[in-house]
Amino acid sequence: MTALATAATAETNPLIAKGQALLQANCARCHAIGADDASTHKDAPPFRVVVTRYPPDNLAEALAEGLVSGHPDMPEFVFEPDEVVAITTYLESLKPQSK
């Protein structure tokens, strides 16, 4: 799972746009999903912080199996494999690019 492109953007990689749309639809009402927005739920960490805490592979697994742990306020989500790939691709794109 390290084949994720490095400096890809939503313009160059349609998966990023798809992942962003999925997060916008399902997560953005609590989590900040962008590069500098603030979470609307005070306890929900912005995704740009989440990606620095967890390797994308761990997040991918959690997304596929259903995110529940540590999510008292959060409904359970289970994503299809292609959606997981899109989401993790988007999340990777949030990370500061190591050049």
- 22, 47, 58, 88 from 50: Cα distances, Å: 16, 5, 11, 11
Query: Do the beta carbons of residue 30 and residue 74 sit within 8 Å?
Result: yes
Measured from the CB atom, the residue of 16 and 99 that comes closer to ligand HEC is: 16
Q: Which of 44, 84, 85, 86 binds ligand HEC (CB under 6 A)?
A: 44
- Nearest CB to ligand HEC, comparing residues 17 and 50: 50
Rg (CA), the chain: 13
Distance CA 37, CA 43 (A): 14
- Binding of residue 53 to ligand HEC (CB under 6 A): yes
8 near ligand HEC (CB under 6 A): no
Residue ranges that bind ligand HEC, judged by CB under 6 A:
26-27, 29-31, 41, 43-45, 50, 53, 59, 67, 70-74, 77
